[in-house]
Structure 1
Amino acid sequence: MPRTTRTTRLAGAAALALAAALTLSACGSSGGGSTAAAKVTQQKDDSPYQGTKLAKNFEKPDLQLTDTSGQPYDLRQQTNGKATLLFFGYTSCPDVCPTTMGDIGVAMKALSPEDRKKINVVFVSTDPQRDTPKVLRTWLDSMGTDFVGLTGDLAKVKTAARSLGIMIEDPVVNPDGTVTSTHGAQVLAFLPSDDKAHVLYMSGTEEKTYEHDLPLLAKGVAA
């Protein structure tokens, strides 16, 4: 079976209409090398969050896929009224996906049990052919046993991501049998008050930023 070895990340900054200037570095490849952090320059505002406050608050996508237990999962219905972190990626990613989800996992563990229950962390696969429910669950369990993993129709995933200004391309099988999956690497935070995205975290966001912001998300603090 082909294996995925490289991700290229697309910023999608124009579609996001951010109140910031965004610069996104290229992903690492199977040949190794480090991935430079994305640089985010925020405009001054009164937001209590260290993540980037969005100038446009995006609706939560109308997305129905399959969760890691093999059951249907309606993103809007099953995360309604709860703070939600949403990330698109794939389990064979060599760098940005495990790093991002790992940092969120560490920050979630720093929360009180009560606050952890108030935040959904949802990972949507951009490589559903290889990311079966079982594969997703095994991969996510190393970061957060309560993280939600979703897989299914890639066309639906691409449409949902596009509505958030996140670009995803079909995985490409290379001549050597490897697969390249190209996807945006933003994490979007939806507030429980209106189920809209208010805060953005670019790839390279430090763990301490999530540790600062997650308690605010759990409490539903306005951005």
Structure 2
Amino acid sequence: MVIFPLFYFLPSTSSGIIEADRNLPEFRIHEDDGKTEDIRKVLSGKENLVYFGYLNCKTVCHGSLKKLKNFISKERGLRLVFVSLDPEKDTEERFEKYFSDLKVETKYIRLGSRGRAFELARLFGIMAFSSDKNGDIEHPDSVLWVNSQGRIKGLIFEFDKHWDQNPNELIKFISDKKEQKPQLN
């Protein structure tokens, strides 16, 4: 118990990126065309930056989404995937309007209910929950990098806070990890 508080006071040089190497969870989503598809298939084949948030957010979502939009517009090899934590209010039309200025591919995932959205977030390691009767949602300001092989390769935490300074660090992180050969388990 004495050692734990010491870590709080140690200087941190964290870049805001945590390296990961996890399989995507199995999770069925219903597409707008009525088909059901597994999230693993939806996110495979492309390099993705996945953000769990909602368009009525009063805290971090708008700042992070603005930075993500700016970042993704310069990095043509990445697709922004926005997973709505408030599918009752975040409609396809609102999503399209919000991201209409982007000239790169985006993907909107809108599940049938908040409960399903929170379940998917938790499977990705993102804790999200309704915080009060006003409908506000508590969630971290995190972005996940999911590579084209359908593996979670990195977590960028406190995105709004960290990505003003040096977006090239994220580009370098992704480029370096893409070049590494996959390890056999």
Normalization by structure 2: what TM-score?
A: 0.72
- Counterpart residue number, 1:138: 97
> Secondary structure of the equivalent of 1:173?
coil
- Counterpart residue number, 1:214: 171
- Counterpart residue number, 2:109: 150
Q: For 1:160, which of 104, 112, 120 is the aligned residue?
A: 120
Structure 2 counterparts to residues 20-169 of structure 1, below 5 A: 41-42=13-14, 51-54=16-19, 56-65=20-29, 70-71=32-33, 74-111=38-75, 116=76, 118-142=77-101, 146-153=105-112, 154-169=114-129
Instruction: Name structure 2 gaps, 5 residues minimum.
Output: 1-6
Q: Is residue 133–residue 150 contact of structure 1 (8 Å, CA) maintained in 2?
A: no
TM-aligned CA deviation for residue 125 of structure 1: 0.6
Q: Is residue 83–residue 190 contact of structure 1 (8 Å, CA) maintained in 2?
A: yes
- Counterpart residue number, 2:146: 190
Instruction: Name structure 1 gaps, 5 residues minimum.
Output: 1-20, 23-38, 43-49
- Counterpart residue number, 1:201: 156
Normalization by structure 1: what TM-score?
A: 0.62
- Counterpart residue number, 1:15: none
Letter in 2 for 1:52: I
TM-aligned CA deviation for residue 58 of structure 1: 2.7
In structure 2, C-alpha distance between the alignment counterparts of 1:202 and 1:40, rounded to whole Å: 14
Q: Is residue 107–residue 208 contact of structure 1 (8 Å, CA) maintained in 2?
A: no
Q: Is residue 73–residue 104 contact of structure 2 (8 Å, CA) maintained in 1?
A: no
Letter in 1 for 2:152: A
Name the count of aligned residue pairs: 167
Deviations 1:81-130 (A, max 9, x none): 3221111000011341121121121122223xxxx1x3221110111111
Structure number with greater CO (CA < 8 Å, separation at least 6) is: 1
> Secondary structure of the equivalent of 1:141?
coil
- Counterpart residue number, 2:4: none
- Root-mean-square deviation (CA, aligned residues, Å) is 3.1
More helix by share: 2
